[in-house]
Amino acid sequence: MVFRWFENLVDPLSDEAPSRPPQTLRAFIWHYAKPFRWIFVGTITTSIIIALIEVFAFERIGTLIDLASQSGTQDFFGEHGGKLVLTLVMLALVWPLMTLLDDLLLLQGVMGNMAMAIRWRGHRYMLRQSSSFFADDFAGRVATKLMQSALGVRETAIKMTNLLVWAGVYFGSALFLFFANDPLLTLPLLLWFGAYLTTIKIFVPRLAKISEIQSEHRSMLTGRIVDAYTNISTVKLFSTGPAEDAYARDGMRTMLGSVYQQMRLATLLSTTIHTINGVMIAGTLGLGIFLWSSGALTIGAVAFAATLALRLQGISHFFLWEIANLFENIGMAQNGMETLAKPLAVQDRSQERLQVQEGAITFDDVTFHYGKDKGIIDDFSLTVQPGEKVGLVGRSGAGKSTLVNLLLRLHDVEKGRILIDGQDIAQVTQDSLRASIGVVTQDTALMHRSIRENIAYGRPEASEEDIIAAAKKAEAWAFIEELEDKKGRRGLDAHVGERGVKLSGGQRQRVALARVILKDAPILIFDEATSALDSEVEAAIQGRLDELMGEKTVIAIAHRLSTIAAMDRLIVLDQGAIVEEGTHSALITHGGLYASLWDRQSGGFIATKEDAA
């Protein structure tokens, strides 16, 4: 009950739209800490109270010793019973209650929730990152950064508030009490404090630096390992075992380098701290006894000063590691920030939604070369009429998939515009754009989820009948019915393995087709959608696809030219530019690139005809 109340103080998984985090560390941390600010105010308050209780407990011990030594054993309770009871209540009741409140706020309120809130907001922001962002990085590395920096940010926020305040109050009040007993007593303490701060100043920035480097090394190493696991079949097929080992060993060696350095610093630091602590305790004890012998201090005060000095040395270790840890976390947060706060390369410029009435597509003078200075697509113009079925043909690397990706706005064009029904796709929301286009991509990777979830991915609310109907139209139902995965889930419930590895290439394509059929968008794009199917299944699907295409605008890409020969118009691309266009028969008659490609696929049949002509 009580736990639940504290756990629910802040909802970590709120629906709030994720925004780009700021790019300075302080603002970055505040960005994530803000929902928890009131809890932090609470824990700061409890930390102060706890520190005060602890320090005054030592002072009480000293005072009670003095009182006990002054009054006789019989009179003590009569004279000082009240003070004793107050101290005992403070220690046995108020102190535990305060720490309970502190823990409830910190452990129940902040710990789990804040880390998860950061991951949730960060992950949703990452999902909005452009394809080029992920093309430029390891997926494993991005994931590690997300997980790590959540901890980094949380720990930084907690330590900056609670730890520093607690230690400050502790030291401040200790100093005050020493001073109240005898100003001279503060001398060892002040000297110690100076030495302690200097130590922190020398060591901590180095520790922080090495932590940041290490955190980078760790993400890099995870990235390399995950990359190998994801591409395990390539690793096996090319028996690159030793090379792969070397790649990982190199990553691990790099990381070890920073681990060694960190551990050396740790040893040096620990020795330094022990030395200055020893000197401080010895100084306080010696000075206290000296002051007592000269009559300036009571024996109770000496006991108080010595025990507190011992306690301070204990704290100083704890505090130092916490500070080192704090800087490690700052390093992690800093390092994560560089990834998590990257601006979105492709952004919604307005909240306008794309309205597709007819489905006309226009590429207007489009230029794009993946951020390089030339090549790929230059000044490309093409208009696809509403309902027109266009086939894109061209050599591998001609830029076909790139054009499709631009139409889907997976990248922003560098020059020119792409219009759908007269609306610039850069001026409408990406969601509305992509909702209007059904795509089967060239490399159909499925999600490691059930077949049902994969098919319904574009229309989660679809009914069971709709899903089955779509699967049937894609000629996928027969094999789906037979499926069973390791955990005994069957049919639509069977899971397909990471990226769909448990299905054959052709089965995967059919699931992808079913997904598009179910989505039923007004514009369709098929990028080698049937390339992995045998001719028989392809022919069977072709009929269904014609029905699906109906009035829709369609762009289909295929190397197997028979797949698209029947389209209204064929566009032949070479090096990002249109070199030929027309119907199949017109292009054959024309005798250019298309004719020669066709020629080769149809086994010279056309060539003889041409030769005859």
447-to-228, 452, 454, 457, 498 alpha-carbon distances in Å: 19, 11, 6, 9, 6
Stretch that binds ligand ATP, among 80-88, 196-204, 390-398, 587-595 (CB under 6 A): 390-398
Size of the site for ligand ATP (CB under 6 A): 12
Choose between 60 and 411: whose C-beta lies nearer to ligand ATP.
411
- Interface with ligand ATP in residues 352-381 (CB under 6 A): 370, 376
Q: Provide the minimum distance between the beta carbon of 587 and Mg ion in the complex, in angstroms, as a whole number.
A: 20
User: Nearest-CA neighbor of 444 among 551, 567, 333, 530?
Assistant: 530
CA distance 473 to 271: 74
In this structure, which amino acid lies at residue 268? L
Choose the contact partner of 583 out of ligand ATP, Mg ion, none; CB within 5 to 8 A by kind: none
Compute φ and ψ for 21, nearest 5 degrees.
-70, 155
Give me 162's structure tokens. Answer: 């609670």
Q: Provide the minimum distance between the beta carbon of 442 and Mg ion in the complex, in angstroms, as a whole number.
A: 5
- Interface with ligand ATP in residues 399-458 (CB under 6 A): 399-402, 442
Q: Provide the minimum distance between the beta carbon of 439 and Mg ion in the complex, in angstroms, as a whole number.
A: 12
- Interface with ligand ATP in residues 472-491 (CB under 6 A): none
Helix, strand, coil percent content, the chain, rounded in steps of 5: 65, 10, 25
Choose the contact partner of 97 out of ligand ATP, Mg ion, none; CB within 5 to 8 A by kind: none
Q: Provide the minimum distance between the beta carbon of 577 and ligand ATP in the complex, in angstroms, as a whole number.
A: 12
519-to-86, 249, 440, 457, 505 alpha-carbon distances in Å: 73, 46, 11, 8, 21
Choose between 93 and 135: whose C-beta lies nearer to ligand ATP.
135
Interface mask toward ligand ATP for 391-410; x: CB under 6 A: ---x-xxxxxxx--------
How many Å separate Cα 396 from the centre of its chain? Answer: 34
Interface mask toward ligand ATP for 315-354; x: CB under 6 A: ----------------------------------------
Q: Is 7 helix (H, G, I), strand (E, B) or coil?
A: helix
User: Nearest-CA neighbor of 159 among 312, 323, 401, 369?
Assistant: 323
Choose between 442 and 583: whose C-beta lies nearer to Mg ion.
442
Between helix 112-127 and helix 299-340 the angle, nearest 10°, is: 20
Choose between 392 and 523: whose C-beta lies nearer to ligand ATP.
392
Q: Provide the minimum distance between the beta carbon of 532 and ligand ATP in the complex, in angstroms, as a whole number.
A: 14
User: What is the contact surface with Mg ion in residues (CB under 5 A)?
Assistant: 401, 442
- Interface with ligand ATP in residues 504-533 (CB under 6 A): none
Choose between 228 and 410: whose C-beta lies nearer to ligand ATP.
410
**Contact between 399 and 376 (Cβ < 8 Å):** yes
CB atoms within 10 A of CB 390: 21
Choose the contact partner of 318 out of ligand ATP, Mg ion, none; CB within 5 to 8 A by kind: none
Return the bridge partners of 145, or none.
none
Q: Is 377 helix (H, G, I), strand (E, B) or coil?
A: strand
Choose the contact partner of 376 out of Mg ion, ligand ATP, none; CB within 5 to 8 A by kind: ligand ATP
Give me 530's structure tokens. Answer: 């049937």
Choose between 210 and 525: whose C-beta lies nearer to Mg ion.
525
CA distance 198 to 38: 34
Give all strands of the β-sheet with 437-440 in edge-to-edge order: 437-440, 523-527, 553-557, 389-394, 569-574, 577-582
Q: Provide the minimum distance between the beta carbon of 374 and ligand ATP in the complex, in angstroms, as a whole number.
A: 12
Q: Provide the minimum distance between the beta carbon of 410 and ligand ATP in the complex, in angstroms, as a whole number.
A: 9
Interface mask toward ligand ATP for 526-565; x: CB under 6 A: ----------------------------------------
Choose the contact partner of 173 out of Mg ion, ligand ATP, none; CB within 5 to 8 A by kind: none
Choose between 397 and 497: whose C-beta lies nearer to ligand ATP.
397
Q: Provide the minimum distance between the beta carbon of 259 and ligand ATP in the complex, in angstroms, as a whole number.
A: 34
Choose between 194 and 375: whose C-beta lies nearer to Mg ion.
375
Choose between 400 and 452: whose C-beta lies nearer to ligand ATP.
400
**Contact between 35 and 153 (Cβ < 8 Å):** no
Choose between 29 and 525: whose C-beta lies nearer to ligand ATP.
525
- Interface with ligand ATP in residues 194-223 (CB under 6 A): none
CB atoms within 10 A of CB 110: 25
User: Nearest-CA neighbor of 28 among 326, 344, 337?
Assistant: 337
**Contact between 151 and 33 (Cβ < 8 Å):** no
Choose between 130 and 401: whose C-beta lies nearer to Mg ion.
401
User: From the DSSP assignment, how many helices (H) and strands (E) are in the chain?
Assistant: 23, 10
Q: Is 597 helix (H, G, I), strand (E, B) or coil?
A: helix
Choose the contact partner of 605 out of Mg ion, ligand ATP, none; CB within 5 to 8 A by kind: none
Between helix 505-519 and helix 535-549 the angle, nearest 10°, is: 10
Choose between 117 and 404: whose C-beta lies nearer to ligand ATP.
404
**Contact between 50 and 95 (Cβ < 8 Å):** yes
CA distance 95 to 394: 77
Q: Provide the minimum distance between the beta carbon of 555 and ligand ATP in the complex, in angstroms, as a whole number.
A: 12
Choose between 133 and 247: whose C-beta lies nearer to ligand ATP.
133
Count Cα atoms within 13 angstroms, Cβ side, for 350. 9
Choose the contact partner of 194 out of ligand ATP, Mg ion, none; CB within 5 to 8 A by kind: none
Interface mask toward ligand ATP for 127-156; x: CB under 6 A: --------x---------------------
- Write the DSSP symbol of residue 152: H
CA distance 182 to 288: 9
Stretch that binds ligand ATP, among 90-98, 141-149, 356-364, 389-397 (CB under 6 A): 389-397
Choose the contact partner of 397 out of Mg ion, ligand ATP, none; CB within 5 to 8 A by kind: ligand ATP
Q: Provide the minimum distance between the beta carbon of 427 and Mg ion in the complex, in angstroms, as a whole number.
A: 27
Residues that bind ligand ATP (CB under 6 A): 135, 370, 376, 394, 396-402, 442
